[in-house]
Structure 1
Amino acid sequence: MTPLVVVLNVTLCFAGFAALALSLDRHHREALAGRVPAGRVLPLRAAGWALLALSLAGAVAWEGLNFGPVQWIGALTGGALLVVLVLSYRPAWLRPAALLALPLGLAVVPAILLAFAH
């Protein structure tokens, strides 16, 4: 298990779960002080599921079919826990944290590729 792959998977899962949470009226109201617009629900849900699927694909690609899904389930748990904590204590931070998690997670991809190339 490579720590960089774990960082990538947890950040992608966090961003995915944050998008799914923001597609719900209750969480959108808490985080952004307003109802979710009807035209934004589907893109948020699609982005959330796509990020979770991308996390699974990355885990399987870098860790293989034997350990990749196991690591992915751990990343799902970690990402979901972080979203729950942010929504519980600082809901207004959810959107900025998710937008920060994406570039942070993708920033480790070159390091992962270099590590697996050697």
Structure 2
Amino acid sequence: MTPLVLLANLALSFAAFAALCLSMNRHHAAAFLAKPSRRTARGLRAAGWAGIVLCFAVSVLAEGWNFGPVQWLGSLSGGALLVVALASYRPTWIRPAALLALPLALVAAFII
């Protein structure tokens, strides 16, 4: 397990769960003070699921089928924990944190 793969997976899973979180009316209203349109909610939901699938692909390609799914599940747990903490205590920070996590994941993935 390399730290860069773990960083890429954690950042991708955080961004994916942040998108899924912001696709819900309640959390979107807490972060933006307005409910999302149907189109925005669908786009965020699609981006969230695509991020989860991409996170799985990165972990399996980097670590193989023996350890990749295990690392994927661990990074999903860590990313979800971070999103839950931000949604509970600082909901307005979810969007900037997710936008910061995406380039971090890309840089870590390209260094791998």
Name the TM-score, length of structure 1 as normaliser: 0.93
Of all paired residues, the percent bearing the same amino acid is 57
Name the TM-score, length of structure 2 as normaliser: 0.98
Distance (whole Å) between structure 2 residues aligned to residue 110 and residue 49 of structure 1: 21
Query: Where in structure 2 are the equivalents of 1:1-118 lying within 5 Å?
Result: 1-112=1-112
Match of 1:115 in 2: none
RMSD, matched Cα: 0.6
Residue 111 (structure 1) shift: 1.7
Residue 76 (structure 1) shift: 0.3
Distance (whole Å) between structure 2 residues aligned to residue 55 and residue 74 of structure 1: 11
Larger radius of gyration: 1
- Structure 1 alignment gaps of length 5 or more: 113-118
Distance (whole Å) between structure 2 residues aligned to residue 14 and residue 94 of structure 1: 10
Residue 38 (structure 1) shift: 1.5
Runs of 4+ in 1 over 6 A off after TM superposition: none
Write the deviation string for residues 62-109 of structure 1: whole angstroms up to 9, x where unpaired.
Answer: 000000000000000000000001111110000010011000111112
- Structure 2 alignment gaps of length 5 or more: none
Distance (whole Å) between structure 1 residues aligned to residue 33 and residue 110 of structure 2: 37
Aligned residues: 112
Distance (whole Å) between structure 2 residues aligned to residue 108 and residue 67 of structure 1: 19
